[in-house]
Structure 1
């Protein structure tokens, strides 16, 4: 990301030195700005280069949501739970707040409370996905299977979690790989961290 910011500075210096007309300066600065934003969004949502995404997460770990993903990869379960506390303090949007509240209860093995919180997320497909994850952990496999997802990574992740619950290592590895292959950006990295931490 530093290369884009350096480019913006260089463009600004060139514009100042050569005294380009305003419209040329505006076009150049707009182009650099779009490049910076595009690179940022691609890393978040589209990249399959996990080395680059991981570097991004490490660099941005002071921000609560990225710190949670960092804790998934480099911290303990308690670190993840504490990271969610910071998210809950910063983000008040109902669906984000409720999702992380449900996730925190799930990580704390408070499954009934997690399901209550998940039912209040109010936004799909994340609400159904979260409920399915919780139901798997509760042992309600058939109820978890009743949810269908358009996003392949969600569908495969739930099957992987069911396989883990059933101690079926072969099925877990197959569907975990499918889930990771279907995901992109930070979500892909989060899945990698989550599956790697599981003891099957």
Structure 2
């Protein structure tokens, strides 16, 4: 499938090049247009799926194709691996991506998956971007049974999928039968890889409700 797509892009590029040359377009401009053409067709689809797609099937295919890349190995492990696979995928990201923001976020996630709320809270407090900082602190509070604090932190957040996600976590920990309702709202509000990550994360939460 990838080879076919590249062949189609190559043929389209050749067609564009031929057309531009036929109307006596300067060669430097032909080169620039062709490069931009390839960048748009090769890069934009990935950006759209990663950040804006609302199709879980489309996102699933994209994650599967890119599962060998560290940043996509994490959502892939959520959907297809066990807890150790998830931890290994996060550890790989931490090894390859040394930016402070990435380190704080993924160290928080790793501590959450290891059931270490105190350590997770320390790393979450170091996140310098809102609403991510409040979201992860609320996540940790909810999983620790501090529902009032989780709700207070959630009230500071203006991102609907985050609010519904915190509501879902509170419902999960308090055995509230509205858990599936909040999950559905959270996943529905999210887009791109975040939508897929939420869907797979909530699917892993197996706890009988009354």
TM-score scaled by structure 2? 0.87
Tell me which structure has the larger Cα radius of gyration. 2
**Deviation (angstroms), 1:36:** 2.5
**Deviation (angstroms), 1:14:** 3.5
Q: Does 1:158 align with 2:156?
A: no
**Deviation (angstroms), 1:59:** 0.9
Q: Does 1:96 align with 2:96?
A: no
**Deviation (angstroms), 1:82:** 1.1
How many residue pairs align between the two structures? Answer: 199
Runs (4 or more) in structure 1 with deviation over 4 Å come to: 15-19
Cα contact 2:13–2:37 (8 A) shared by 1: no
Q: Does 1:70 align with 2:76?
A: yes
**Deviation (angstroms), 1:44:** 0.3
Q: Secondary structure at the match of 2:128?
A: coil
* Cα distance between partner residues in 2 of 1:65 and 1:33: 21
Match of 1:184 in 2: 191
Q: Does 1:11 align with 2:12?
A: yes
**Deviation (angstroms), 1:40:** 1.1
Q: Secondary structure at the match of 1:146?
A: helix
Q: Does 1:31 align with 2:32?
A: no
Q: Secondary structure at the match of 1:139?
A: coil
TM-score scaled by structure 1? 0.91
* Cα distance between partner residues in 1 of 2:16 and 2:202: 49
Q: Does 1:197 align with 2:198?
A: no
Runs of at least 5 residues in structure 2 that lack an aligned partner in the other structure: none
Cα contact 2:17–2:30 (8 A) shared by 1: no
Cα contact 1:4–1:35 (8 A) shared by 2: no
Give runs of aligned pairs for residues 93-172 of structure 1, distance below 5 A: 93-147=99-153, 148=155, 149-169=157-177, 171-172=178-179
Cα contact 1:15–1:25 (8 A) shared by 2: no
**Deviation (angstroms), 1:10:** 1.4
**Deviation (angstroms), 1:17:** 6.0
* Cα distance between partner residues in 2 of 1:66 and 1:95: 17
Cα contact 1:7–1:32 (8 A) shared by 2: no
Cα RMSD, aligned residues only = 1.9
